[in-house]
Amino acid sequence: MTMPRVLPAPADDPARLAAAAAEAAAVLRAGGLVALPTETVYGLAANALDAAAVQRIYAAKGRPSYNPLIVHVTGIDALAGVVADVTPLARRLAAAFWPGPLTLVLPRAAGIPDAVSAGLPTVGVRAPAHPVAQAVLAAAGLPLAAPSANPFTRISPTSAQHVVDALGDRVDLVLDGGACGVGIESTVVDATGERPVLLRPGAIGAAAIERVAGVPLTRAAAVAGDAARPAPGMIERHYAPRARLYAFGSGDRGRLSSMLAPSGVALDRPVGLIAFDARGLVADLVLELPREPAGYARGLYAALHDLDRAGCAVAFVEDLPPGSEWEAIADRLRRAGLQSLGELRTKAW
């Protein structure tokens, strides 16, 4: 794979940031693709008003066109021409959480091409908080359609290197703004009605959404009963590394350490481990993540990318603590194909 052009876009160096944003804006206005950092994950951006440019996103990702994209804007004042209506609920949520990791699904404006919203009457919109994303949006003066900058079904990128490794020169320009601070994708909420509907859990928790909305939130699974195809974002095995992932709890540590021993079960090697505390466990690649959801989210995708880079066939993932603040992380691990350790035993023994 040939290298794309990569430009440093340091948020703490205004002159270089402005130069990088101006170059990105020129590529975007010409119908090109730019990978750029947001606070959640890196996005693969194109002019949301240019149907041909948007088609290039789907081609670069190998993504089926029934999966809608998120349109990024500078803020609530930039929604004219993107959405047909800003509901009172959307106004409240945007006032509380924008710029930030919250995507609002709203009725689509006529000027947004079908390709952006996969033909749905609605469109997802978000104002990112990352200074590089904001600088590019301001310089381009356009709404930018941007999904996560990963090939379809692979792990989302949280560094410019992840994008380069996965997409190569299928993207015209990569802006390197360092590692993403949040690390998992935005919370997606349908705000077309009076009650928020959670379509994808994310960095902003369901409880915080309910508090601002002032009404209980519903969950997408409960309303998707008559859908002809999986609701957008509900596709299983979505953010997956190549390794098969098995969950282990504190009661499994003894069994796990004997499985991992050279004389243990004949596992496909190399073997990876993602744990809060890896003491007493030996694996080919040991990754420790903090026992705190924001820190865990920040490190999760880099850890999954590391498993791929090390060629891990199998990896063991320590059970998450209970609590709703872990909901989005549990969702991503489930979509990464996490299975119970019991399933490994029946296969291997």
Closer of 7 and 158 to ligand TXA (Cβ): 158
Residue 187 engages Mg ion in binding (rule: CB under 5 A): no
Cα 278 from Cα 262, distance rounded (Å): 17
**Contact with Mg ion (CB under 5 A): which of 148, 158, 186, 192?**
148
* DSSP string of 171-222, one letter each residue: SSEEEE--S-SS-SPPEEEE-SSSS-EEEE--SS-HHHHHHHHSS--EEHHH
Residue 123 contacts which entry, ligand TXA, Mg ion, none (Cβ below 5-8 A, type-dependent): ligand TXA
Closer of 20 and 275 to ligand TXA (Cβ): 20
Least distance between ligand TXA and beta carbon 105 (Å): 4
Cα 209 from Cα 197, distance rounded (Å): 10
Residue 159 engages ligand TXA in binding (rule: CB under 6 A): no
Cα 200 from Cα 267, distance rounded (Å): 34
**Per residue in 21-59, is it b (16+ CB within 10 Å) or e — as a string?**
bebbbebbeebbbbbbbbbbbbbbbbbbbbeebbebbbe
Residue 189 engages ligand TXA in binding (rule: CB under 6 A): no
Amino acid at 73: V
Footprint of ligand TXA on residues 90-119 (CB under 6 A)? 101, 103, 105, 117
**Contact with ligand TXA (CB under 6 A): which of 17, 38, 166, 274?**
38
Q: Contact letters (x/-) for ligand TXA, 319-348, by CB under 6 A?
A: ------------------------------
**Contact with ligand TXA (CB under 6 A): which of 200, 244, 298, 332?**
200
Least distance between ligand TXA and beta carbon 49 (Å): 16
Enumerate long-range contacts of 12-19, CB under 8 Å, 24 or more apart.
17/131, 17/132, 17/135, 18/135, 18/139
Residue 43 engages ligand TXA in binding (rule: CB under 6 A): yes
**Contact with ligand TXA (CB under 6 A): which of 50, 185, 252, 327?**
185
Residue 186 engages ligand TXA in binding (rule: CB under 6 A): yes
Cβ-proximal residues to 228 (8 Å cutoff; 6+ apart), any chain: none
Backbone φ and ψ for 299, nearest 5 degrees, come out as -100, -10
Cα 104 from Cα 94, distance rounded (Å): 8
List interacting residues with Mg ion (CB under 5 A). 148
Q: Which residues bind ligand TXA (CB under 6 A)?
A: 38, 40-41, 43, 67-70, 101, 103, 105, 117, 120, 122-124, 126, 146-148, 185-186, 188, 199-200, 232-233
